[in-house]
Amino acid sequence: MTDSKTIPDRPVLRLKPKANARAIRRGAPWVFDNELVMDRRSKALAPGSIATLEDGERKPLATVAVNPGSRIVARVLDRDATVVVDRHWLAARLRKALSLREAAYDAPFYRLVHAEGDGLPGLVIDRFGDTCVMQPNAAWAEAHLEILTDALVEVTGVTNVLKNAAGRGRTLEGLDDVDAVLRGAAPEAPVPVEMNGATYMADLTGGQKTGLFYDQRENHGFAARLARGHSVLDVFSHVGGFALAALAGGANSALAVDGSAPALTLAAEGARRMGASDRFSTRQGDAFDTLEALAGEDTRFDLVICDPPAFAPNKAALEKGLRAYERVARLAAPLVAEDGYLVLCSCSHAADLNAFTGACLRGIGRSGRRAQLLHTGFAGPDHPLLPQLAESGYLKALVFRL
């Protein structure tokens, strides 16, 4: 394809002779600084520039987005080196992403763009009806924000587009932390979102991330089936993720534990709207301290869920993170009634499934409990994995019977 088309007049990046060009041809999305010929001209490219990537023999490989200040200097946008990244190209990618979500979900509440998984590296877009919250976590997305917003409105018909600048990756890309309204207006109140029969209140401007974690939708539903007629403890609950789904599934009671008072207030409002306030309670505090306190109160639950933040967001934090997951399992397991269920989750990129499972089993074992592993859950179809990028499959949920 490349040989029969004209390569756009733009900067060129070239792989070192021993770099793995085959990996790029097979779908690898990232090119690191040590794989490229970083001469003075390459280092001077503006963050967010679009360039042509060549192999060591100067043959065009792909169209890439460039950030010389990042360890990931080049992100593959298209394996066709002849494309022009403009509003039309962006709209085509967004239409592909939208078609998948419309096939999977009946209502427009989902992750619309899952970065590399949807061919838009570093870009996350969550949709809440007529509002989209965008996290441009790569320099190219920030540099193309205006036409990206235009394309998003064109494809989806949303009236409001918000920029959330809280993504951890923005710091690594040298980007600001300033939120913005890109189109329309920000909602004046939290947005109700229906999932698995539960009502969640999403704060799109003051909440964590984009306001709601869509990635646990499938795992919420699985846990809810186990909760029918039982008592539930949801630790690190945010706005009531597992707890509210459990109540919708017929749980007798649910206690939500989180360090954030505003998040628990939103959770309580969700329970009220569901007509489940009489079965729902909250407890604000440090999760580890609360788990220890509940054990001291000789409290037991039929279903305990722990869905902590990323304890191992990178390789440097892996060992410390695995110890934290082990501690969560060790403290949570004694709170599970005999023949009850324990759900342990990880959203850490650096901790793969085997490492996370091992940490959980060590913690359960050290608590003196025996476990059956019933189910391993992942993110839903609005979080598609790029098979060549293990990091795109970050979410793991393990369901044990103790």
Going along the chain from its start, the domains and CATH numbers come out as 2-78 (2.30.130.10), 87-183 (3.30.750.80), 191-401 (3.40.50.150)
CA–CA distance, 165 with 16 (Å, rounded to integer): 34
- 347 tagged catalytic: yes
Per-residue pLDDT reduced to its tens digit, 247-302:
999 999 999 999 999 999 999 999 999 999 999 999 999 999 999 999 999 999 99
* 156-193 pLDDT tens trace: 999 999 999 988 889 889 999 999 999 999 999 999 99
The rounded distance, in Å, linking the Cα atoms of 9 and 214 is 40
Q: How far apart are CA 222 and CA 361, in angstroms?
A: 21
pLDDT of residue 5: 78
- pLDDT recorded at residue 199: 98
Lowest mean pLDDT among 291-295, 311-315, 334-338: 311-315
| CB neighbour list of residue 181: distance below 8 Å, 6 or more residues apart | 160, 161, 162, 163
Given a contact cutoff of 8 angstroms between Cβ atoms, the answer to whether 101 and 126 are in contact is no
pLDDT of res. 392: 82
Whether 250 contacts 228, CB under 8 Å: yes
Q: How confident is the model at residue 76 (pLDDT cuts 50, 70, 90)?
A: very high
Rounded Cα distance, 358 and 45, in Å: 44
What local confidence, expressed as pLDDT, does residue 206 receive?
83
- At residue 28, does pLDDT exceed 80? yes
Nearest one of 202, 197, 195, 268 to 228, comparing CA atoms: 197
Q: How far lies 102's CA from each of 64, 200, 204, 268, in Å?
A: 29, 21, 22, 30
Band the pLDDT of 4: cuts 50, 70, 90. Answer: low
Q: Does residue 372 carry a pLDDT above 90?
A: yes
Instruction: State the pLDDT at residue 1.
Output: 43
Contact predicate 345/234, CB 8 Å: no
Q: How many CA atoms does the CB half-sphere of 59 hold within 13 Å?
A: 10
- Burial, 383: exposed, middle or buried (Cβ in 10 Å; 0-12, 13-18, 19+)? buried
Q: Which one-letter DSSP state was computed for residue 184? A: S
**Best mean pLDDT range from 108-112, 203-207, 309-313:** 108-112
- The answer, yes or no, to whether residue 376 has pLDDT greater than 50, is yes
Q: Alpha helices of 4-120 — where are they, by DSSP H?
A: 21-25, 40-43, 87-104
Q: Which of 132, 345, 347, 360 is catalytic?
A: 347
